Amino acid sequence: FVLVPAVPAIVAIRRRRPGAVPTLAGAVLAGAAVTALFAVGGFWWFDGANATRHQYWSGTAQFRPFAYFAVANLAASLIAIGPATFAGLLRMWKQRSAPAPIVTLVAGGALALLAAHASQYSRAEVERIWLLFFPWLVVAGSVLVSRAGGRLALAAVGSQAVAAIVLQAALVSKW
């Protein structure tokens, strides 16, 4: 997963985007500075990752079957993002003509979510644990609004609101 941030860097450089190299160099330097500051403070990322892995697999995760949660986690995510976002994702996939900033935000959120899913560090409770990825995916719903008039926008927002209210009322979540 360490190499995941390299993908947009490679794409930006290959497309010869103006300012891509200085921006990426700044990002690398900032990442190196943060890593160095934590190392000076006595924290090493790989030791932390190993300790997390040990604690996680020593707990209830060992009793949660991968086959079930491989599907259930993604299904819970689709329910959490709502019907308008799902429709926006489908439209983006089928038409492949969404504006580049929207594609970038949604693709970044989707890649982060899939990386978290592949790590297997969150079997269950992803509606809460993956919450930080959902705003980036919800941006996909904007392609529904930009293509049509007010009726589709109203239907999209209405469907999101109804889904949220029904889910909260039906699940009675303590969160």
pLDDT in tens, 24-62: 778 778 888 988 999 999 998 889 888 988 998 898 888
Kindly state the tokens that stand for 142: 């904007």
**pLDDT for residue 41:** 93
Given a cut of 80, whether residue 22 has pLDDT beyond it is no
Per-domain residue ranges of the chain: 65-171
pLDDT in tens, 159-170: 888 988 888 888
Average pLDDT over the chain, rounded to an integer: 82
Q: Quick one: CA dihedral 8, 103, 84, 164, positive or negative? A: positive
* Amino acid code (one letter) for 73: N
Beta carbons of 122 and 130 less than 8 angstroms apart = yes
Give the ranges where the chain is alpha helix by DSSP (H): 6-14, 20-40, 45-58, 66-81, 83-95, 100-119, 126-129, 134-138, 142-147, 150-171
Query: Helix (H, G, I), strand (E, B), or coil: what is residue 165?
Result: helix
**pLDDT for residue 1:** 46
- The pTM of the whole model exceeds 0.75: no
Burial class (CB in 10 A: 0-12, 13-18, 19+), 135: exposed
Residue 3 confidence class, pLDDT cut points 50, 70, 90 = low
